[in-house]
Amino acid sequence: MKKFSSVFLLLLCLKMAVMAQSEAQVYDKIGMQSDLVFSGTVVRQNCYLRSDSMLVTETVFNEIGIVKSVNPSRSGNDPEIRIVYAGGALNGKIIMIPDIPDLAVGKRYFVFVKDDGAFHPNPFPGGCKAVIEISRDSLTRGESLSPRSSCQPVALAP
């Protein structure tokens, strides 16, 4: 029995190491596809109809910490970053787009995004994996990345 337990633990550790390595490869790929990588706090969101009648959400971040920016017009001193993406809720109409993160006002996130000046219905390379919630310890004020997904499950009615 002890040999079985040792082998099981060894296999479990190897599987977790492989999973961690594949997860790192996923984030490397997301990082390469991103024009902008930053941390920031959502301060407001606004849903509106574009001129082409597409419902979009504009999310505004402040307390910015830029990690990567390939857009030469993006200044590390910008007080806010605005991201516009498809979907949202307006006048009782709700449009949910799969694999777009669910961002909440007041929460802090680590974000990978396309920032090339064009509108992207989903500007988050890697979808929900491109946004990671940052949690803050109330005692130490230290920050850590949350392992939870930033996407809400979508239930479809029959």
What percentage of the chain exceeds 70 in pLDDT?
74
pLDDT in tens, 86-118: 999 999 989 988 899 999 999 999 999 999 889
Buried-exposed string 102-127: b where 16+ CB fall within 10 A, e elsewhere: ebeeeebbbbbbbbeeeeeebbbbbb
pLDDT of amino acid 149: 56
Within a 13 Å sphere around the CA of 31, how many CA atoms are in the beta-carbon half? 12
Does the residue 116 lie in any domain? yes
Whether residue 3 is contained in a domain is answered as: no
13 within a domain of the structure (yes/no)? no
**150 falls within a domain:** no
Lowest mean pLDDT among 19-23, 33-37, 99-103: 19-23
Predicted TM-score (pTM) of this structure:
0.77
Residue 69 φ then ψ, to 5°: -150, 115
- Overall domain count for the chain: 1
